């Protein structure tokens, strides 16, 4: 199962399902076809929520962001 990592700290955000990963990949901007890292800010979280993000995934991302306004994440 895919894992999300916070790039600047190397901390594991959590394990997600293939369906959750497919949602993220579809919603977030990729620089190239094989891109596996993404920039997320508060607006992105709101957009994900508005577009039907799984509540568990959204909570995981919000917790990982903490008090920060933005973060870079990757999946592996």
Per-residue model confidence as pLDDT tens digits over 23-65: 999 998 766 666 688 999 999 999 999 999 999 999 999 999 9
Indicate the SS3 state at residue 29: coil
Tell me the domain boundaries of the chain.
3-75
pTM of the model: 0.90
pLDDT at 26: 92
By C-alpha distance, which of 49, 27, 51 is closest to 38? 27
Cα separation, 52 vs 46, whole angstroms: 10
Q: How far is CA 63 from the centre of its chain?
A: 11
């Amino acid at each position: 199962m895919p894992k999300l990592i916070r790039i600047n700290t190397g901390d594991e955000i959590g394990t997600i399902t293939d369906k959750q990963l497919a949602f993220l990949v579809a919603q977030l901007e990729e620089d190239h076809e094989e891109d596996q890292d993404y920039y997320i800010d508060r607006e992105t979280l709101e957009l994900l929520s508005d577009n039907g993000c799984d509540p568990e995934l959204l909570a995981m991302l919000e917790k990982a962001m903490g008090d920060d306004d933005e973060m870079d994440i990757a999946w592996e």
